[in-house]
Amino acid sequence: MKFVHAADLHLDSPLLALSRQEPRQVERMRRATREAFEHMIDLCIEQEVALLVLAGDLYDHDCPNMQIAVFLRSQLKRLEQKGIRVVIIKGNHDAGNKITSALALPANTRILGEQKPETITFDDLPVRVAVHGQSFRPGPIAENLAASYPPALRGHYNIGLLHTSLAGATDHEAYAPCTLEELTTRGYDYWALGHIHKGAVHCRDPYVIFPGNLQGRHAKESGPKGCLLVEADDAGRTVAAEFIPLDVVRWHRAEVDLKGCNVEAELVEGVRGALAQAYRDGDGRPGAVRVVLTGRTSLHQHIERTPHRLRQTTLELAAELAGDDIWIEKIVNSTTAPGERLDAMSNDETHDLVGIMQEIAGNTELMGPLLAKELEPLRSKLPGELKEHSSLKLMETPGLCAEALERLRPRLAARLAAEEDA
Amino acid sequence: MRILALHLRAYGHFTGYSLDFGAGPGLHLIYGHNEAGKSTTLRALSSVLFGYPHGVVDDFKHDAKDIAIGIALLGSDGRALSLVRRRRGKHALTAADGSALDDGAVESFLGGVSQDVFEKVFALDHHRLHEHAKALLADGGSLGFSLAEAGSGIAGLKAVLDKLKAERAALFLAGGSKPKLNHAIAEVIELRKGARRRTVSPADYRTREKRIEEADAELRKMREQRKTIESDIVRLQRIGKNLPLRAEHRALTQRIEALDDVPVLPPEFAEQRVKAQTDLEAAREDIDVSCAAVADLERRIAAISVDEDILARSAEIEKLAQKRHVIEDYEADSVKREAERAQLYAAVADLMAKAELDGGSPLPNPSPLAGEGRVGASMLPSALKRKAILKLADTGKELATQRATALKNAEAEARALTKARDRAAQIPELRPIGDLSRALTAADKLGDIAADITKRTRALERKAKALKETIIGLGLGTDRVSVLRGLAVPPEKTVVRYADMLATAERKMKTAEDDLHRLDRDIAECDQGIAALKATGDAATEDDLKAARHARDQGWLLVRGLYVDRRSGLEELAQQFAPDGRIADTYERQVLEADQSVDLMRVHVRESTELSLLRSRRADLEAKRTEAAAAVNALGARREAVGSQWRALWPAGLITVQLPGEMTEWLAQRSAAITVADGLEEEQDAIQERIDRERDARQALAATMAAFVVELNGELESLRERARDLLRDVVNANTLHEKADEAVRTQSARKDAADEAVDRLKARIDRWEAAWRAALAEAGLPPDLTTEAACATLEIMNEIDIAKSKTDELTHRIEAMRRDRDTFRNAVAALAVDLPGAPTGDAVEVCRQLDNRLRVARDKEANLRGLKEQVKPQAEGRERAKDKLRRSRAALDALCAQAGCANVDELPEIERQSMEKQAALSGREKIEMRVREDGGGRDFAALFAECEDVPADQIPADLLSLKADRDDTEAGIEKLMADRAALQADFDILLGQSQAADFMQEAATVEAEIEEAVEAYVDLTVQETLLRTAIDVYRDRNQGPILMRAKELFAELTDGAYAGLRADVNERGETILIAEDALRGSLEIDALSDGTVDALYLALRLAVVQEHNARREPMPFVADDLLLNLDNKRAQAALRTLAAIAASSQVLLFTHHAHMVDLARIAVPPPILIEHNLLPATSEAGDRRIAV
């Protein structure tokens, strides 16, 4: 008996931080979350699975759009035609979203209740299956939902469907927290988790798995994204849980270590290698790459002085390697200069300009208000949440302000040197 | 910190070179001409203090690992440090005693100054000085920029700020719409609106869905209504149709009831009745006809009688009748056969006679009746024997023919042999050709050697002639190769060495001459400058003044001598002083000129100083020119000496010696000529060798051809031609001879073969003759019979055999006919005896009559049998007719019973009534069926019942009304359906196309752009704010002390032309620098001359240095040809200023301009000025002080 476990579909959630380099590329990433979902439905049909379980977050909470629900229904109907059952729990994004309740879902689909855990059994399958789960209610769920899940049903293959941050996931908000031990001792055969966008296998006996989301939506959600194809034998043992990548557009973080590099050719070769690796990893998919340059190198100043040239070179390399299948999301220069001394200044008041720059870069009390004054006009113009852009946070965060000043001081020094050379 | 000494142990092109600066104060002037290593020394200074730069290696002389620079430092607190820095990663620093030092040891002497600051702030050259001065102007005299640039050593701060600002503005402007961010923000707002417009909320979704559901319900209701109306219409239409049917149905029911007693007969009843009556009549007729026919047949049978006797003997009679025709034929045929036999007998007798057998009567006369003897059979030889004799005869003939042919062949071959022998005898004998052929082959291998010899000889002559011309061209006065070879010339190395020496001499000479020309040009320029200044009349020098004063004093002495002291002997002087004799005027003029000179010097100080400098420079140049001219002469002499040595290397009197370049070429030509001569000698030998080979070949050919011909002479080619012809002729003759011999041999063999064939035939003929005779004897023929005669006799014998055979056959046939005739006659006689009424007479005739009687009896018998056969069918037909009659009667009885009557005649009426009743029943059934068909499954009675009380005339009006209702309902449904479709389409469009997600994605991509631009904008803002703030802070901190010092320095540097500097605020509210001119008052920077701005920047920079040195560990100030752009006066003022600074801290002034040394010597007194000479790089000596 096979079933598919997926979570965090976030249908119609836009792919973030991709600028409009090419209209064609924008077109390719349009509706990527829907396409990934369609791929998953295709997979269910091809593999003739008995069941699909979705562990929450079908939509984004700020998307109360019936177009998504209609799309969802049309896809679930495809499964209905093939006799494939679907069990869904609502996640924190779905809980307050009325679009599901406004639409009649097909007969093969069940959404588990939100007041208490619910169990659905399928006794007509080759292996008798019991799915236990509870949907999220609107609002934050701080209590441990898993604690009240029912005990395993004898003679059934027990699947626990749970939307949770488990314990200790720092990148995601804490929802329905619970420990791994609580899950593994419940007697279930498979814990189908959702909420954490990075796939992870926490235990193999029994399986406790986050499949990750179906489609990466920004640079932080890099690497392959997809679902799990699970197979149980007639004795009700899980024999395989294979990750199947379904993403339409893939995000890559291509790190280039320039430690000890002295010439530009080495930089170019490094970038070429990292891009080629990303392209290979993408398995033929279009991909968005964030190139991160690291290491202590004498090229640091050169990179700071000629960012456009580096970008152009990188774009050309990408085009050479993969046509328009690879596009460059961003190039981040995290290298340091070999002789750069970020300390070693006495506390005495300095009287030379470079010393003063270094001194006041550390003085956020002085610089903070000045920068805030300069940046306020822009912030006031920005719409909504863009006002909270991380770059602008330095206006009120001393640490960020100091970091930005310190980070940009070498770039300013490079500008001054360039003006001298000009 | 002071630098006590700098030790260039191994660096650049220096090895073990030191500059010793000493511990005392002073302005160190380090002079070195071009290439002396000034830049290397400056780099060394920075490197030893801060470490070696990354890119520059300076290892062209010393390996990088060997590079080492030493320095001795003295701190302001009295600490001293000597160290050596090597170019290596670890243990780069060592103390004087070789112990390792860390960087901290040096840093404690540097007062927190980084390498960058040291190189930018504590070092300055004239180029950067000017660059900074230009930047000051570009900054608009801003105090902040001026101070910051002087303090950081970075030029163009304002340009950097401007660029940052412009880049920011391209991204965002508070009130703008076009910058990237402004545009993107507007776009994202618009896209979000679009997304909201296209978002389908659950409430909206439900509303739309409800509207569609309501439309569906209404539609269902209308459709029900339409169905009811349609049902009513159908019912009315049905009633309208059923009303007349109901009346007809009633009439038919009454008729059926009236015929109630009449049975319903089957449809075939009438047909059955008619058929039964017809069959009855036909059977009666058939019975009558059959009875009459039987009676007639019986009568005709009784009338016929048959001859039974003859029929009893019919078999015998028929057999005899068949034989009778044969017997009749025998009668005619036997006569004819006997005549034929008699003819054959006669023919045999003739043949026997012809063959002369039995003495002319070979055959007895045969008897026609008893002639069955074997006529002559024993007299003839057997056929086998005759055949053997014939075969032998054929063989004999064949052998005779063969013998004749063989004999003829033998004769012909003999004749041919004779002929061949004759021909062979006529052809000459064989001759050997081997030697001739080999000699010719050898000669052919040489090819056209004579022409080749001629051609090569001519070429050799041409080349030899050219060589001679070449040799003459080399200027030796002879064309002999031996002379050329024997010539003693210097080796190539020597030539190269002298070429270098002469080239060096020439180059030095050229350089010296160039120097001389340059000096001439400089002098001319000075002269022009002097003339120009003079021409303006605005300049005078001390010399002018001295000269004027001298002239004036001379004039005064003369005036006093002449007119006061009244001394004599002054006429000549007076004549010199004033040629025109106007001594007083001249004196007054001289006084005036001296005064004017003083005035000019006072009023036009600059021009006067310039004029003075020009003159000084001119004198300097003049001295240098003299030195240069002497150098040119010395170099000329040296060049000539080398030239003489060069010429002495070459053999005197034989060649004209030129420069090494030309002589190298000459040597090359000589060498080439000798190579050509060697080649020509080799060619000469080769030609001679070919002449020898040609002669040998000619002699060999002549010797071999002598065996064939008598006279031989001429060239090789003609000899070769003749030899070829001769060889061809001999070969042809030899071939002919061999062919003739071969023909004789062949012919002889053929003749022998022919003779042998004749002999073989003869033996065969002998054997045949013996066999022939034996065969004749055996056949009884005469033994001497020829083959032809024997064959003729045997032919006749064959004919006799044939005739005999025919005769025997005829005899046998005639006898057989006789036997048959007798048998027939006996049989006929026997039959006639037993048969009553039989005729008598000729057997043949009797037989014919009996045969006729038999035929008549048989005809009668057949007739009787036919009549008897006809009686039986007639009787059977009669029986069948009787049977049919019975069946017809029974059928009619049955029909009557069915119709319920006793008499057949009643049946037609009953049949008619039955049909009438049946038609009524069927009509009623059809009406009921039609009514039910349109009744929609209702009961028939119910359908007629619904017609009750419905007035027929009302139906059409009701129908019209109902149809109108139906049309109205239909229209309503259509409208509802259209409305619903429109609702659904709207809904589908809303859900399907133009998805909100697309707008959200588009907005996300624009937001990404915004984020990227915001990040860039923030970065630019941070940089701009940081730099701007740093400049402000710098100004705040340094404005007071630096401006104070700079004010004094500026006054000093401008030699008092400017009283100083101060800060002021311009109309735009910016703090700017103001220079206080002694004459013109306050001036902004842009009102100053370039030189003054240079001085201003220098004042600021020196103030920065002094300020630093006053507050922190003092650092040396390194000036690299700093004062080049300043005029001498300013340069001297600057030197004095530097000297003043040097009193408290160290100043190192590098120059490679000698006049700077001169200026320094004028401006700075000796204890302060300490001169160092940067010696040429190869020097191993240490620093040496120039004597002052």
DSSP string covering B243-306, please? HHHHHHHHHHHHHHHHT-SS----TTHHHHHHHHHHHHHHHHHHHHHHHHHHHHHHHHHHT---
Tell me how far apart the alpha carbons of residues B723 and B452 are, in angstroms, rounded to a whole number.
Answer: 22
Q: What is the DSSP letter of A296?
A: B
Tell me how far apart the alpha carbons of residues A111 and A85 are, in angstroms, rounded to a whole number.
Answer: 11
Give the predicted TM-score (pTM) of the model: 0.51
How confident is the prediction for chain B on average, in pLDDT? Answer: 83
CB atoms A14 and B1003 under 8 Å: yes
Chain B, 1031-1050: which have a CB under 8 Å from a chain A CB?
Answer: 1031, 1033-1034, 1037-1038
**What pLDDT is recorded for position B151?**
78
**B1034 contact residues in A (CB cutoff 8 A):** 351-353, 356
Residue in this structure with the two tokens 């619904």, named with its chain if needed:
B946
Residue in this structure with the two tokens 């910051």, named with its chain if needed:
B148
pLDDT higher than 70, residue B772: yes
DSSP string, A159-211: EEEEE--TTT-SSS---S---HHHHHTS--SEEEEES-SS-EEEEETTEEEE-
**What pLDDT is recorded for position A150?**
94
Tell me how far apart the alpha carbons of residues B549 and B598 are, in angstroms, rounded to a whole number.
Answer: 10
pLDDT higher than 60, residue B497: yes
Does ipTM exceed 0.90?
A: no
**What pLDDT is recorded for position B366?**
45
From A107, A16, A39, A101, select the one nearest A66 (Cα to Cα).
Answer: A101
Contact predicate A120/A131, CB 8 Å: yes
Contacts of B1097 (CB under 8 A, 6+ apart): B129, B132, B133, B136, B146, B150
Contact predicate A202/A166, CB 8 Å: yes
CB atoms A420 and B154 under 8 Å: yes
pLDDT higher than 90, residue A271: yes
Q: What is the DSSP letter of A369?
A: H
Residue B851: both structure tokens together: 């045969």
Mean pLDDT over B722-741 rounds to 84
A203: left (phi over 0), alpha (psi -120 to 50) or beta: beta
Chain B, 1101-1140: which have a CB under 8 Å from a chain A CB?
Answer: 1107-1108, 1111
pLDDT higher than 70, residue B57: no
CB atoms B1011 and A391 under 8 Å: yes
pLDDT higher than 60, residue B999: yes
Residue B1069: both structure tokens together: 């509210």
Residue A328: both structure tokens together: 């460059």
* Alpha carbon separation from B731 to B432, B703, B716, B717 (Å, rounded): 9, 19, 22, 21
**What pLDDT is recorded for position A171?**
63
| B17 SS3 class | strand
CB atoms A26 and B1005 under 8 Å: yes
CB atoms B200 and A29 under 8 Å: no
| Nearest CB to B185; choose among A361, A374, A382 | A382
Neighbour-count burial of B488, counting CB atoms closer than 10 A to its CB (0-12 exposed, 13-18 middle, 19+ buried): exposed
Chain B, 53-92: which have a CB under 8 Å from a chain A CB?
Answer: 54
Chain B, 333-352: which have a CB under 8 Å from a chain A CB?
Answer: none
Contact predicate B233/B960, CB 8 Å: no
Preferred mutation among B50, B999, B1021 to probe A, highest tally of A CBs within 10 A = B1021
pLDDT higher than 80, residue B429: no
Q: How close A81 gets to chain B, by Cα (Å)?
A: 22
Contact predicate B6/B1171, CB 8 Å: no
Tell me how far apart the alpha carbons of residues A2 and A116 are, in angstroms, rounded to a whole number.
Answer: 27
Contact predicate A408/B146, CB 8 Å: no
**Whether B421 contacts chain A with CB within 8 A:** no
Tell me how far apart the alpha carbons of residues A306 and A298 are, in angstroms, rounded to a whole number.
Answer: 14
Instruction: Give whichever of A340-349, B73-82, B339-348 has the largest mean pLDDT.
Output: B73-82
| Strand blocks (E) in B1006-1134 | 1058-1065, 1071-1077, 1081-1084, 1117-1120
Instruction: Give whichever of B715-719, B966-970, B1062-1066 has the largest mean pLDDT.
Output: B966-970
Mean pLDDT over B896-915 rounds to 86
User: Among residues of chain A, what percentage have pLDDT more than 70?
Assistant: 91
Mean pLDDT over B892-907 rounds to 86
pLDDT higher than 70, residue A323: yes
DSSP string, A14-69: PPPS---S-HHHHHHHTTHHHHHHHHHHHHHHHTT-SEEEEES--B-TT---HHHH
pLDDT higher than 70, residue A170: no
Per-residue b or e along B373-395, where b marks 16 or more CB atoms closer than 10 Å to that residue's CB: eebbeeebbeeebbebbbebbeb
Residue A8: both structure tokens together: 């965090």
Contact predicate B531/B559, CB 8 Å: no
Contact predicate B330/B817, CB 8 Å: yes
Tell me how far apart the alpha carbons of residues B280 and B904 are, in angstroms, rounded to a whole number.
Answer: 13
**A374 contact residues in B (CB cutoff 8 A):** 1021, 1024-1025
**A364 contact residues in B (CB cutoff 8 A):** none
**What pLDDT is recorded for position B1181?**
41
Chain B, 1004-1023: which have a CB under 8 Å from a chain A CB?
Answer: 1004-1012, 1014-1015, 1017-1019, 1021-1023
| Nearest CB to B156; choose among A29, A349, A419 | A419
**B200 contact residues in A (CB cutoff 8 A):** 65-67
Residue B263: both structure tokens together: 């049975």
The amino acid occupying position A150 is: P
| Nearest CB to B205; choose among A34, A102, A404 | A102
Q: What confidence category does residue A17 fall into, taking pLDDT thresholds of 50, 70 and 90?
A: low
Chain B, 97-116: which have a CB under 8 Å from a chain A CB?
Answer: 112, 114, 116
Tell me how far apart the alpha carbons of residues B707 and B716 are, in angstroms, rounded to a whole number.
Answer: 18
Query: Residue B86: in which H helix or E strand, if any?
Result: strand B80-86
Mean pLDDT over B955-962 rounds to 89
The amino acid occupying position B799 is: E
Three-class HEC string of B207-238: HHHHHHHHHHHHHHHHHHHHHHHHHHHHHHHH
| Nearest CB to A12; choose among B160, B1000, B1005 | B1000
CB atoms B151 and A17 under 8 Å: no
A103: left (phi over 0), alpha (psi -120 to 50) or beta: beta
Own/partner contacts of A272-277, CB < 8 Å, gap of 24 or more, are A272/A317, A272/A321, A275/A314, A275/A317, A275/A318, A275/A321, A275/A322, A275/A326, A276/A321
Residue B66: both structure tokens together: 């060997």
* Alpha carbon separation from B712 to B409, B444, B715, B722, B958 (Å, rounded): 54, 18, 10, 9, 157
Chain B, 289-308: which have a CB under 8 Å from a chain A CB?
Answer: none
Tell me how far apart the alpha carbons of residues B786 and B773 are, in angstroms, rounded to a whole number.
Answer: 10
**What pLDDT is recorded for position B369?**
41
Preferred mutation among A353, A393, A415 to probe B, highest tally of B CBs within 10 A = A353
**A98 contact residues in B (CB cutoff 8 A):** 202
Residue B726's DSSP bridge partners are none
Among A2-11, A161-170, B73-82, B497-506, name the one with the lowest average pLDDT.
A161-170
Own/partner contacts of B346-351, CB < 8 Å, gap of 24 or more, are B347/B803, B348/B375, B348/B376, B348/B800, B348/B803, B348/B804, B348/B807, B351/B796, B351/B799, B351/B800, B351/B803
Mean pLDDT over A106-129 rounds to 93
pLDDT higher than 80, residue B627: yes
Q: How close A124 gets to chain B, by Cα (Å)?
A: 35
| A363 SS3 class | coil
CB atoms B1005 and A330 under 8 Å: no
B508-551 confidence digits (pLDDT tens) = 889 899 989 999 998 998 888 888 877 777 677 777 778 888 88
* Alpha carbon separation from B303 to B291, B477, B863, B864, B869 (Å, rounded): 20, 183, 11, 9, 16
Contacts of B623 (CB under 8 A, 6+ apart): none
**B991 contact residues in A (CB cutoff 8 A):** 66-67, 70
Q: What is the DSSP letter of A392?
A: G
CB atoms A408 and B1022 under 8 Å: yes
B218-262 confidence digits (pLDDT tens) = 999 999 999 999 988 988 888 888 888 888 888 888 888 888 888
Contact predicate A199/A214, CB 8 Å: no
**B1036 contact residues in A (CB cutoff 8 A):** none
Preferred mutation among A38, A65, A74 to probe B, highest tally of B CBs within 10 A = A65
CB atoms B1026 and A412 under 8 Å: yes
Is the dihedral angle over the CA atoms B243, B244, B250, B252 positive or is it negative?
negative
Q: Say how far residue A233 (Cα) sits from the centre of its chain.
A: 33
Mean pLDDT over B42-67 rounds to 78
Distance from the first to the final alpha carbon of chain A: 72
User: Among residues of chain B, what percentage have pLDDT more than 70?
Assistant: 95
Q: What is the DSSP letter of B1185?
A: B
Q: How close A168 gets to chain B, by Cα (Å)?
A: 30
Own/partner contacts of B725-729, CB < 8 Å, gap of 24 or more, are B726/B436, B727/B433, B727/B436, B727/B437, B727/B440
| Nearest CB to A408; choose among B112, B202, B1023 | B1023
B1129-1169 confidence digits (pLDDT tens) = 888 888 888 888 888 788 999 888 888 888 888 888 877 88
A206 upstream amide cis, omega within 30 of 0 = yes
Preferred mutation among A60, A354, A397 to probe B, highest tally of B CBs within 10 A = A354
pLDDT higher than 80, residue A74: yes
Residue A365: both structure tokens together: 């009390």
Neighbour-count burial of B199, counting CB atoms closer than 10 A to its CB (0-12 exposed, 13-18 middle, 19+ buried): buried
CB atoms A19 and B1008 under 8 Å: yes
B792-807 confidence digits (pLDDT tens) = 888 888 888 888 888 8
Contact predicate A254/A217, CB 8 Å: no
Q: How close A105 gets to chain B, by Cα (Å)?
A: 14
CB atoms B1023 and A12 under 8 Å: no
**Shortest CA distance from A416: residue in chain B:** B160
CB atoms B201 and A66 under 8 Å: yes
